[in-house]
Amino acid sequence: MQIKTPPMGFNTWNTFGENISDALVRETADAMVKLGLKDAGYEYLVIDDCWSKRERDPETGKIVPDPVKFPYGMKALSDYVHEKGLKFGMYSCAGVRTCADYPGSFDHEFLDAETFAEYGCDFLKYDFCYKPSTANGPVLYHRMSMALKSCGRDILFSACNWGSDEVNKWIRSTGAHMYRSTGDINDSWASMRDIAMSQLDNLAYSAPGCYNDIDMLTIGMYGKGNVGSLGCNDTEYKTQFALWCIYSAPLMLGGDIRTMTDGLLKLVTNRDLLRINQDPEARPAFLATEMSWFPGRIVLVKHLSDNELAVGFFNMTETGGQIPFFLENIGLTASSGRALHMREVFTGEERTVKEFMNPVVEAHDCSVYLCRIVKA
């Protein structure tokens, strides 16, 4: 199963945690269609941890959906999600228990993969809690990958071991389609910033087939919900989304989309940003400049198909100010006779730049340009 661009969708964990239900998933599916999120490319609706009973069925050994939360069972729910034109995702864990202490798939991988296939599942997030110390990460992710490959259904395999065991070095070889490279996000500027900055050295480990997953977005949580913390403001959500897009990260929404504001809806359906994230060449971004005297003021550049480039100025520091960008750093020397024609994706502002630019970017804010090389 080939995943050509970073997966997009919604995951229940950030906002709802254990408070998930059949009704919530159906309402979310309805909202994804009604608000145009499905048309924008958000296709996976993923139920995270806490969906099952605390113990397996003693007769069959199978995981059993919680009959109170999911009274009609998982197949009926996935049918509903599929009728909406969306894909249905679920969650399990490589250890004996999930992170929230429900049955994990350790030593039940093949049975569980078959059960997920029976449910009509299209996506499996696979966590890493409570694993016996005799089993290592590569073995456990290989095992579930083999179980999924032989279950009779195409299921996207989303690995989630939080970046441990140098996961970027071996995860692609297990067959996973995306892999978490960081610990859990919470809805605060500091958490988002630290996650993004921690991956600057790992940008090149995101490519067609297997994408670097820097966790579900917190856009729209405003400090509420399961991983709500100090909350973020709209500028910080804008920067979060732009970063995830230029990083070629999976875009899994984690705020309650049923109540998303028009402004944030516009943000997460911004065509230019989605084009940057979903570019078919899926080249990694690279760090073109980090100011040595203001670490955290960075310029990221990503080559796109059709000879375009994305250039993002991100001010991750606590004060506003200029972020210098030497075009020479991306190969456009002063003597090249070339310039960049740039269009800012939020304001539409256009400019043509030679050699150097030094835009002012407020604290926690960003500017992102779609660019084309022109004769100067």
CB of 214 to ligand GLA, least distance (A): 11
- Residue 365 contacts residue 341 (beta carbons within 8 Å): no
CA distances from 275 to 266, 272, 304, 346 (A): 14, 5, 9, 13
CB of 55 to ligand GLA, least distance (A): 17
Among residues 35 and 47, whose Cβ is nearest to ligand GLA? Answer: 47
Give catalytic residue positions: 127, 184
Name the helix (H) or strand (E) containing 343.
strand 338-344
Q: Which stretch binds ligand GLA (CB under 6 A): 1-9, 52-60, 97-105, 170-178?
A: 97-105
- Residue 343 contacts residue 309 (beta carbons within 8 Å): no
In 151-264, the DSSP E strands lie at 156-160, 178-180, 187-188, 211-213, 228-231, 251-253
User: For ligand GLA, what does the binding mask look like between residues 177 and 196, x meaning CB under 6 A?
Assistant: -------x------------
Locate 183 and state its tokens.
């610990």
Neighbouring residues of 288: CB distance < 8 A, sequence distance ≥ 6: 299, 300, 301, 311, 325, 329, 330
* 288 lies in the site for ligand GLA, by CB under 6 A: no
Q: Which stretch binds ligand GLA (CB under 6 A): 27-35, 94-102, 163-171, 201-209?
A: 94-102
Amino acid at 150: S
In 177-318, the DSSP E strands lie at 178-180, 187-188, 211-213, 228-231, 251-253, 286-290, 297-303, 308-315
CB of 48 to ligand GLA, least distance (A): 5
Q: Which stretch binds ligand GLA (CB under 6 A): 92-100, 228-236, 308-316, 341-349?
A: 92-100
User: For ligand GLA, what does the binding mask look like between residues 200 and 229, x meaning CB under 6 A?
Assistant: ------------------------------
Which one of 22, 43, 49, 213 is in contact with ligand GLA (CB under 6 A)?
49
CB of 114 to ligand GLA, least distance (A): 22
Residue reference for tokens 């040595």: 292
Which one of 48, 109, 187, 279 is in contact with ligand GLA (CB under 6 A)?
48
CB of 123 to ligand GLA, least distance (A): 13
Site for ligand GLA in 60-79 (CB under 6 A): none
Q: Which stretch binds ligand GLA (CB under 6 A): 98-106, 240-248, 256-264, 310-318?
A: 98-106
- Residue 330 contacts residue 288 (beta carbons within 8 Å): yes
- How many Å apart are CA 105 and CA 94, to the nearest integer? 6
Among residues 100 and 135, whose Cβ is nearest to ligand GLA? Answer: 100
- Residue 332 contacts residue 341 (beta carbons within 8 Å): no
* 99 lies in the site for ligand GLA, by CB under 6 A: yes
Among residues 143 and 180, whose Cβ is nearest to ligand GLA? Answer: 180
- How many Å apart are CA 246 and CA 201, to the nearest integer? 14
* 43 lies in the site for ligand GLA, by CB under 6 A: no
The percent helix, strand, coil of the chain (3-state, each to 5) is 30, 25, 45
Which one of 160, 171, 249, 323 is in contact with ligand GLA (CB under 6 A)?
160
In 200-296, the DSSP E strands lie at 211-213, 228-231, 251-253, 286-290
Among residues 253 and 345, whose Cβ is nearest to ligand GLA? Answer: 253
Among residues 162 and 326, whose Cβ is nearest to ligand GLA? Answer: 162
Among residues 227 and 288, whose Cβ is nearest to ligand GLA? Answer: 227
Locate 271 and state its tokens.
């065509």
Least Cα distance to 192 among 232, 147, 138 occurs for: 232
Which one of 9, 10, 13, 357 is in contact with ligand GLA (CB under 6 A)?
13
* 100 lies in the site for ligand GLA, by CB under 6 A: yes
Binding site for ligand GLA (CB under 6 A): 13, 48-49, 98-100, 127, 160, 162, 184
